Amino acid sequence: MIFSFLFSATFSGCGYKPMTAYTKRVFTDRIYTEVEVYLRDPENAVLVKDAMNEAIVSRFGAKIAKKEDATTRLWIRFKSVSFSPIQYDANGYAVYYRARVNLNVRYASAGTKGKESVVGFYDFPIEPNAVISDAKRFEAIRYGAQKALDAFISRMAVRGESL
């Protein structure tokens, strides 16, 4: 009982607010996302759209809306996707790669407009003397895009804190 009192007194006294409190100052509760298809990897648009929709529900605390019902709109475009080796084995074969996903995100909400360029990284292993399989490639792009979207959400929380 004493522990719960101290815990609640600590967090209520320090002014802690979850990230959704700050992002709601920038974005409204009905959000529509549109992902531009990346011609080199058209299937990645679906991965990014799913990742963004998941982030809207879990991190923004908002709802996904139809285009005509939305009060906030997000447009996401792949700027680039690249893979580079970051670790080699004793024979000189690449065994770890880094995926780098650059996204451009434009947003419009309640008179506020802006755009951000965000980057997400994902490191993953492969077998020595092997090529990156399509499954590994899609996984790396998906997780890299999720990390880029997390960076975007963090920037929006910082922007909301200053409003």
Q: Any idea what the CATH number is for the domain that residue 103 is in?
A: 3.30.160.150
CB 150 within 8 A of CB 107: no
Q: Is residue 91 part of a domain?
A: yes
Q: Is residue 85 part of a domain?
A: yes
**Of 92, 146, 152, 157, nearest in space to 118 by CA:** 152
Give pLDDT tens digits for 101-144: 999 999 998 778 899 999 999 999 988 778 888 889 888 988 99
Q: How many domains does the chain have?
A: 1
Structural domain for 138, as ranges:
17-162
Q: Is residue 24 part of a domain?
A: yes
Tokens linked to 101: 């996903």
Q: Is residue 153 part of a domain?
A: yes
Strand ranges, E, within 7-161: 30-36, 63-64, 72-88, 94-109, 112-125
pLDDT for position 102: 93
Q: Is residue 5 part of a domain?
A: no
SS3 content of the chain, % helix, strand, coil (to 5): 40, 35, 25
Q: Is residue 4 part of a domain?
A: no
CB 66 within 8 A of CB 31: no
Q: Is residue 9 part of a domain?
A: no
pLDDT for position 84: 96
Q: Is residue 28 part of a domain?
A: yes
Give pLDDT tens digits for 28-57: 778 888 888 777 777 777 777 787 788 777
Give pLDDT tens digits for 2-16: 766 556 656 565 666
pLDDT for position 18: 64
CB 86 within 8 A of CB 74: no
